């Protein structure tokens, strides 16, 4: 089983739609969680950290479910510019580096 | 301020040659990471430096790969006797404190082995 698993997609949604991605992780002792965004042929960029109580940044909401070992990202009112690959990132206790999921591709259509 | 800088941005080399990739992290960032991303694939961890601690080399795919870092500044990733399967984008990232802090990535070096 992969340490961090994501549905590769693509998720094709119309502008204005709400879309949600999940990411599961295997290590119950994982400490820190992030969502990164990667545009085609570009480097990943931090979208948001994920806090235990859940957090929101504008149209984006991130949640953590430790019992079921997954994190989620909800995007409301999708824009064309949201089209990208969304990477789930986890930091495990005892490992020094962050582990990246393979990403979920989102395509927002006009 | 300046971000993470990587050079060269593109490198084409012949199979069997050695290559050296360079990364300049953000000033003050004690942690530095190298990742590899093959076309259409996710990020593959290679190596991690944190301050003066011994680096975490657990992701290096073979002994042809090595990396060094001078103090808390520049890092070089060296690939010896390159193979076609080494073709990928090599991404460097730095973070303020390591161990779970968010990463800031450079633009990457696109390596093509012919």
Note the pLDDT tens digit of each residue in A53-72.
Answer: 899 999 999 999 999 999 99
Joined tokens for residue A39 = 């545009």
Output the tens digit of pLDDT for each of chain B's 114 residues: 589 999 999 999 999 999 999 999 999 899 999 999 998 888 999 999 988 888 999 999 999 999 999 888 899 999 999 999 999 999 999 998 766 678 999 999 999 999
pLDDT given at position A93:
66
C-alpha distance from A3 to closest chain B C-alpha (Å): 12
Cis check for the bond before A23: say yes or no (omega within 30 of 0). no
Residue of A4, A23, A97 to mutate, interface with B, max B Cβ within 10 Å: A97
The residue among B111 and A52 whose pLDDT is bigger is B111
Asked if B59's CB is within 8 angstroms of A43's CB, the reply is no
Q: For residue B42, give the nearest of A34, A98, A100 by CB distance.
A: A100
Q: Is the pLDDT reported for residue A83 higher than 70?
A: yes
The runs of H, that is alpha helices, within B1-114 are none
What pLDDT, on a 0 to 100 scale, did the predictor assign at position A94? 66
pLDDT digits (tens, 9 = 90+) for A6-48: 999 999 999 999 999 999 999 888 888 999 999 998 999 999 9
Exposed e or buried b for every residue in A64-83, given b needs 16+ CB within 10 A? beeeeebbbbebeebeeebb
The phi and psi torsions of B85 (rounded to 5 degrees) equal: -70, -5
pLDDT value for A30: 83
Enumerate the β-bridge partners of residue A88.
A35
- Does the beta carbon of A88 lie under 8 angstroms from any beta carbon of chain B? no
Contact (CB<8Å) A43/B43? no
CA–CA distance, B2 with B20 (Å, rounded to integer)? 22
Chain B residues lying within 8 Å of A36, measured CB to CB: 103
Chain B partners within 8 Å of A34 (Cβ): 102
CB neighbours of B59 closer than 8 A, spacing ≥ 6? A97, B44, B45, B46, B47, B48
pLDDT (0 to 100) of residue A62: 97
Identify the sign of the CA torsion A57, A58, A60, A61.
positive
Dist CA A32 CA B108 (whole Å): 24
User: A15: distance to nearest CA of chain B, Å?
Assistant: 25
Mutate to test the interface with B, among A88, A96, A104 (most CBs of B within 10 A): A96
The tokens describing B93, both together, are: 């990232």
pLDDT at A105 over 60: yes
Task: Give SS3 for A81.
Answer: helix
Residue A7's nearest CA partner among A108, A93, A87 is A87
């Amino acid at each position: 089983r992969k340490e961090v698993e994501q549905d590769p997609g693509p998720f094709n949604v119309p502008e204005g739609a709400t879309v949600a991605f999940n990411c599961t992780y295997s290590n119950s002792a994982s400490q820190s969680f992030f969502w990164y965004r990667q545009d085609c042929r570009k480097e990943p960029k931090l979208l948001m950290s994920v806090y235990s109580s859940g957090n929101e940044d504008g149209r984006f909401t991130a949640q953590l479910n430790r019992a079921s070992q997954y994190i989620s990202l909800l995007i409301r009112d999708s824009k064309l510019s949201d089209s990208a690959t969304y990477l789930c990132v986890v930091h495990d206790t005892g490992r020094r580096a962050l582990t990246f999921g393979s990403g979920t591709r989102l395509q927002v259509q006009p | 301020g300046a971000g993470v800088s990587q050079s060269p941005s593109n490198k084409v080399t012949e199979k069997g040659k050695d290559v050296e990739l360079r990364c300049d992290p953000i000033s003050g960032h004690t942690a530095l990471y190298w990742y590899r991303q093959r076309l259409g694939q996710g990020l593959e961890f290679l190596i991690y430096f944190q301050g003066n601690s011994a680096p975490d080399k657990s992701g290096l795919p073979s002994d042809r790969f090595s990396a060094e870092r001078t103090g808390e500044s520049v890092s070089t990733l060296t690939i010896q006797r390159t193979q076609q399967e080494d073709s990928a984008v090599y991404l460097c990232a730095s973070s303020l404190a390591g161990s779970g802090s968010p990463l800031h990535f450079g633009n990457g070096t696109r390596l093509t082995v012919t």
